[in-house]
Amino acid sequence: MSITHYPHVCYVENNIIGSQNSTAYDAFGRLRVSNPLTIFDSKNIMSKNNLFDEQLINFGSINYTSNNSTVNLNVTTASGDKVVRQSKRVMSYQPGKSLLNLNTFVFNTQTTNLKQKVGMFDTNNGIFLEDTGSNYQIVRRTYTSGTPVDNEVLQSNWNGDKLDGTGASGYDLNFDRPTIMFMDFEWLGMGAVRVGFVVDGKFIVAHTFYNANNPLVDTVYMQTANLPIRYEIETVGAIGSAATLQQVCSTVMIEGGYSPEGLQSAVGTSTINTAVTLTTANTWYNMVTLKIKSGRPYAVIVPAGLDVLNIANADFEYGLFVNATPGSAFSYTSYSDNIEYDLQMTNLSSTGTRIAGGYLGGKTAPATFGDGRIPFSFQLGQTINGVSDTLTLGLRCASNSSKAAGLLRWYDLT
């Protein structure tokens, strides 16, 4: 079977199966209906949220504007400034499901020596819009060779609506005005990626990367579609005045829902004989702590549930904490390619952010998360430099020297 790609229509053996650039269809050609599953959303109303890690180089800075609900990435006039905000979570791509991302932003006015980028990408892989300082381009970044390579497509070469006033829409976009950008992925290693913009409620495809059966592509088009959202501005030479990229909102949706086909695992105090003795009342103790291994930037780890066994039959409180601080340093044991864990009994000097919990008066307290759905809001994140969040199941008791055991379950959706 031969497939021929045309700018607006995909033919299979001369039978039209659908308009490739019609956004009435998702990335896999399914008619879109209103059943997307949101796995990430970011807005900054009244304060800057904590869903992004930040990197500042030289005199770059970040400030928040409450009246505009924007996070502003700022560079000075000096060469070498760089500011990056990257989501701590990577977005879980499920084969056969369209992954839809929307980002809103305002670029600084195009300026020589000023580069700006927005999209789903990191230093090795991804898709993004770039202002080079003299041109706009959509870029596919790939790490398949072991070195990041950018495949750059200038606006004048976009194979959809160039959005310069010459396309079917008639729109001439100004990216230094409020902009809504979308992209949807058909990864499977070699699927298509559409990138475009929403104007007056219309989804307009600007460029599509065709990868399947492409004679110019001899392997997967990028290493993974499990990617973070990233906003970036930098000066590559001196500029005349300080510049700002305004970050507004982002969301990622899996179109058609998500089936938890990943590996579910569990670790905890294995038997009653290895139960934890909580020496001091009203003190939080570690039962289980998980984190993503170093060097696994695209791992998707989501808690699936927990169990607590109240051996002492006393009154307990349990909690699930992100980035708790132990009284003595954790010592991790490898569990899998992506996960390591710690079971040592140590008090928690700080409990970090509590995301779940409850009370225990009887013997057991099993709990799941997400009402049967994958709780992506609990997904473990990482910094730009690859430092993982930790997830800790903690207990505290109402009386001294009370015994308990605990277990933490998770999905590895990598």
Residues 164 and 294 in one domain: no
pLDDT tens digits for range 44-99 = 999 999 999 999 999 999 999 999 999 999 999 999 999 999 999 999 988 888 89
Residue 7 belongs to a domain: no
For residue 159 the two structure tokens come to: 């194979």
pLDDT tens digits for range 326-360 = 999 999 999 999 999 999 889 999 999 999 888 88
pLDDT tens digits for range 225-264 = 999 999 999 999 999 999 999 999 999 999 887 776 667 8
- Is the pLDDT at 133 greater than 80? The verdict is yes
In sequence order, the 6+-apart residues with CB closer than 8 A to the CB of 118 are 103, 105, 107, 128, 129, 181, 230, 231, 232, 245
Report the chain's mean pLDDT, rounded to a whole number: 88
Residues 272 and 209 in one domain: no
- Is the pLDDT at 273 greater than 70? The verdict is no
Residue 226 belongs to a domain: yes
Residue 310 belongs to a domain: yes
**In this structure, are residues 135 and 248 in contact, taking their beta carbons and an 8 Å threshold?**
no
Percent of the chain with pLDDT over 90: 66
Give pLDDT, residue 160.
95
- Is the pLDDT at 6 greater than 60? The verdict is no
pTM (whole model) above 0.85: yes
Residue 62 belongs to a domain: yes
Task: Show which of 187, 220, 255 is a domain's final residue.
Answer: 255
Q: Which domain holds residue 382?
A: 263-412
Task: Show which of 223, 255, 287 is a domain's final residue.
Answer: 255
Any idea what the CATH number is for the domain that residue 318 is in?
2.60.120
Residues 223 and 322 in one domain: no
Give pLDDT, residue 9.
39
